[in-house]
Structure 1
């Protein structure tokens, strides 16, 4: 696969775009976040754990598709696997806010009907992606937030847990480090800093959002994204993941997209919908459209990546960071998993 990789220049940086072999028909693509992911900083044991988790998620989604289930069923099941794994910044592995809370966002979209559902700022829903699906299917709304979303999820029969369920030592230590950096920064510079700049996701391990896109046997696309947000975030900040058209989008006429990265830039560029529009209105391939929208994010100073799967089973996984946890599975069950830029 490495011999088919393409690179292009964005804002003075080389940007990676995995060029999938055109003869392959992909039925599912997933990501586990993008950022400063370097092999030199990864132990063999942790790398193996990431690869195993990504493989389990892909296998779960693929089995759903093979069983004749819908793409919506497949992406929800896949995301639940990743939400239950503490390695990723979603569900069990969600990062902490400035106030020491776990606040999660998720979204799901049906490419056949353009129905969508999302939750944001929830603290006690074990699998936010399932709550997002409930919003889509059991309400007349698209997005619910905070306590209201939590009450709706409970009424809809979604599993509710004690917020302590989401506590992990690694994420807690990450918050303590971020708070320490904040303190040092304030001593050096007393000028006002926007919350988005103070609430950074530890630059060595940021953007741990998870996402999945799928194409089922009936030709229907779906997309799903789930995240724990930003380490040390303040003021109830919400990123692109639960915003339809920014971090999540699916349309049977074009493509299914799930994004990961610095959310503010994805919102401002309406990245997921823009990718679809480039295919619909300009006739670009999914790969061309993918690298175009990431170049826009890059030019504004943002970073991250995305996964996209078009209606014909062509996939693109562009990113402008040092790595992105990512994987694909073809119609015949061939699984590929990659982590680093050089993969």
Structure 2
């Protein structure tokens, strides 16, 4: 059944500082516009999601690709995942290093292997086998990321404190993500992140960074990965939609449940199988945008919803 194309973007749920506010908004708007053009040209939902996330990975305001944070060893370890609701195919990479666009590598895992996840050295070896561009750590790290790493290493701040202490304003968790619905009625999600500053080497937070199923819809999550995993947040949102809730209601209910059960904060963007849109966050801010019927909506602070034609 033909559908009107929809794309929804998030740039991460956290206490985004004012100096990154404009860049975050501009980035999610650019990503949505790029993904929507793919859909308008007849591209698939998974094509649109990948294209949108590449824009976010290349933007320095976000903790994904260029802009990734540093782990406790001062290294970059990135995670990315992609899934199509058409046949539940998915691909992901974790703790990958020296790759410009981890979402492209996740797509290659989905399309070119029989696996769903490659990690560490294995993911980098696969990247070399398929000729993916390799970059240096310096090509991925901004000066802000270096300064934040020094601050958190000085105080030995743990992951749990970063996400539970609302007074810690620099605790970035700006995973980026996208969901889309294409003309053919297929949904897809993608999520990409550099993780948490000063995280333990080998820590993977995005192994359940979303879900996509044509029978319900698609979700991309952001926030404290450990909390998201514990409650299977994305699958909970799609389940809520299967029970008759709107995309917005399903998203809000699941995030509130996560806060109640494990005291975790985060956000999510959602599109239902019928093109209904949801977006919600329980952190201080989340950069988001969506396009449907040629109209772009975007915001950063609670209650915001600006719009313009595209």
- Taking structure 2 as the reference length, the TM-score comes to 0.91
1:247 is matched with which residue: 209, 212, 224?
209
Conserved in 2, the CA contact under 8 Å of 1:200 and 1:230?
no
* 3-state SS of 1:340 partner: coil
2:98 pairs with 1:124:
yes
Report the 3-state secondary structure (helix = DSSP H, G, I; strand = E; otherwise coil) of the residue aligned with 2:190: strand
Partner residue of 1:33 out of 12, 28, 46? 12
Task: Report the CA distance between 1:198 and its aligned residue.
Answer: 6.3
Question: Does structure 1 conserve the Cα–Cα contact (< 8 Å) formed by 2:70 and 2:146?
Answer: yes
> Which residues of 2 match residues 67-86 of structure 1 at below 5 A?
67-86=41-60
Aligned length: 298
Q: Over residues 144-173 of structure 1, what are the superposed CA-to-partner deviations in whole Å (9 max), with x where a residue is unaligned? A: 000101111221232221222112110000
Equivalent of 2:259 in 298, 304, 309: 298
1:224 is aligned to 190
Conserved? CA contact 1:65–1:217, under 8 Å: yes
Residue range with higher mean Cα deviation, 167-176 or 150-159:
150-159
The change in CA–CA distance for 1:68 and 1:208 in structure 2 (over 3 A counts) is: same
| One of 53, 76, 82 as aligned partner of 1:102 | 76
Q: What is the aligned counterpart of 1:149 among 116, 119, 123?
A: 123
Give the counterpart of 1:258 among 204, 217, 220: 220
Question: CA-atom RMSD, angstroms?
Answer: 1.9
TM-score, normalising length from structure 1?
Answer: 0.83
Match of residue 214, structure 1, among 153, 170, 180: 180
Query: In the alignment, which residue of structure 2 is the partner of 1:22?
Result: none
TM-fit CA distance, 1:270? 0.6
Question: Which portions of structure 1, spanning 4 or more consecutive aligned residues, are displaced by more than 6 angstroms?
Answer: 198-201
Question: Do the aligned partners of 2:162 and 2:171 also contact (CA within 8 Å) in 1?
Answer: no
- Correspondence for 1:286: 247
Tell me if structure 2 keeps the 8 A contact 1:305–1:318.
Answer: yes
Name the counterpart of 1:4: none
Note if 1:92 corresponds to 2:56.
no
Structure 2 CA distance for partners of 1:297 and 1:322, relative to 1, 3 Å: same
Distance of 1:255 and 1:207 partners within structure 2 = 24
Contact 1:110 1:251 in 2 (8 A): yes
Structure 2: 5+ residue stretches without partners: 305-310
Measured in 2, the distance between the counterparts of 1:89 and 1:79 equals 12
Give 1:319 deviation, angstroms: 1.1
SS at match of 1:329: strand
1:340 aligned residue (289, 301, 305): 301
Change (3 A) 1:122 1:248: same
Task: Output one character per residue of 1:213-245: Cα deviation in whole Å (capped at 9) or x when no partner.
Answer: 001111110100000001000141110x2x2xx
**Which position in structure 2 is the counterpart of 1:179?**
153
Q: How far is 1:262 from its partner?
A: 0.6
Q: Which residue of 2 aligns with 1:42?
A: 18
Distance 2:140 2:163 in 1: 20
| SS in structure 2 at match of 1:140 | coil
- Tell me the SS of whatever aligns to 1:92: coil
Choose 1 or 2 for highest CA Rg: 1
Alignment CA distance shift 1:200-1:164 (3 Å): farther
SS at match of 1:224: strand
Query: Residue deviations 1:105-151, cap 9 Å, x none?
Result: 00000110100000000111110001001111100000000010111
